[in-house]
Amino acid sequence: MENKQEILRLLRSVAEGAVTPEDALLKLKESPFEDLGYAKLDLHRSVRQGAAEVIYGAGKTAEQIIGIAARMGEHGCKNVLITRMDEATARKVAAAVPLDYHPQARVGIAYPAERPSRGSIVVVTGGTSDIPVAEEAALTAEVLGNRVTRLYDVGVAGLHRLLSNLDVLMSARCVIAVAGMEGALASVVGGLVDCPVIAVPTSVGYGASFGGLSALLAMLNSCASGTCVVNIDNGFGAGYLASRINQMEGLKE
């Protein structure tokens, strides 16, 4: 079974007498994963977590990504997210399966299809150099069915740029703050909004930023309540967490 809706349909069919309990049991007993040799495809991920398994592209060959994505497509999966995939690999994958590729974020969406657009997630960056990580976060959230607003290059070096967008920030259910250098943006945003803030340190900065470590430590030590931090350059993790927060808030309405 690919998702919760399919299981509900099956259970209703049993209740209506259209499917026997024995046949329903056989359906549910189908292997929760498929062994491809180089990967064990988690076919029940969407049942447990509400979204299909995400393919981490870095370190995988184009053939491996194609094999995984193709099998997911055969099982009815749509909007399969492939992260950290370079352009050369994406070209090979696109020749084998339907693919929407975003080179700046290095994100591919296999078997793209219409998706809902719920709530409000705002993604802000300190500078233009942070956009690749921010786009990974924004695209992840959009694939998972969220409405995303982008506010780029609004860092603390020109605070008026951020303050001119307070209406957008304050209407968000969750804000993703992406910044390198000293990582101050997350604390500033966290002090302005009444929703959770997910801070994403980036490896953008000069030598003493230590590849994003300075921003990471600054965000971890933020005095702004309601701020959490993901790993350096982990736009995907931020987008996924923001989706969980946004959609849980939606259930309360």
**List of E strands, 94-226:** 99-102, 107-110, 118-125, 146-151, 174-179, 197-201
CB atoms within 10 A of CB 73: 15
Residue 247 is predicted with a pLDDT of 85
Q: How far apart are CA 103 and CA 132, in angstroms?
A: 9
- Domain spanning 118-251 has what CATH number? 3.40.50.1970
Read off the pLDDT of residues 77-112 as tens digits, 9 standing for 90 and up.
Answer: 889 999 999 999 999 999 999 999 999 999 999 999
28 pLDDT band, cuts 50/70/90, is low
Residue 35 is predicted with a pLDDT of 66
State yes or no: pLDDT of 65 exceeds 70.
Answer: yes
Lowest-confidence region among 54-58, 175-179, 222-226, 248-252: 248-252
Contacts of 5 (CB under 8 A, 6+ apart): none
Token output for 101: 């590729």
Contacts of 107 (CB under 8 A, 6+ apart): 81, 82, 83, 85, 101, 135, 136, 139, 140
* Residue-averaged pLDDT of the chain: 88
Asked whether the beta carbons of 235 and 135 are under 8 A apart, the reply is yes
Read off the pLDDT of residues 136-169 as tens digits, 9 standing for 90 and up.
Answer: 999 999 999 999 999 999 988 888 888 888 999 9
State yes or no: pLDDT of 253 exceeds 60.
Answer: no
Considering Cα of 219, then 224, then 230, then 233, what sign does the dihedral take?
Answer: negative
**Which residue in the block uniquely carries the two structure tokens 């977590």?**
49
Contacts of 111 (CB under 8 A, 6+ apart): 69, 72, 73, 77, 78, 79, 80, 97, 98
Residues in a beta bridge with 228? 198
Query: Whole-model pTM?
Result: 0.84
Report percent pLDDT > 90 for the chain. 62
C-alpha separations of 156 from 17, 184, 187, 188 in Å? 63, 7, 10, 8
b or e along 196-234 (b: 16 or more beta carbons within 10 Å of the residue's beta carbon)? bbbbbbbbbbeeebebbebbbebbeebebeebbbbebbb
State yes or no: pLDDT of 72 exceeds 80.
Answer: yes
Report percent pLDDT > 70 for the chain. 90
176 pLDDT band, cuts 50/70/90, is very high
219-239 mean pLDDT: 95
Residue 135 is predicted with a pLDDT of 97
Orientation of helix 87-94 relative to helix 62-74, angle to 10°: 40
Domain boundaries, the chain: 31-110, 118-251
Q: Say whether 119 sits in a helix, a strand or coil.
A: strand
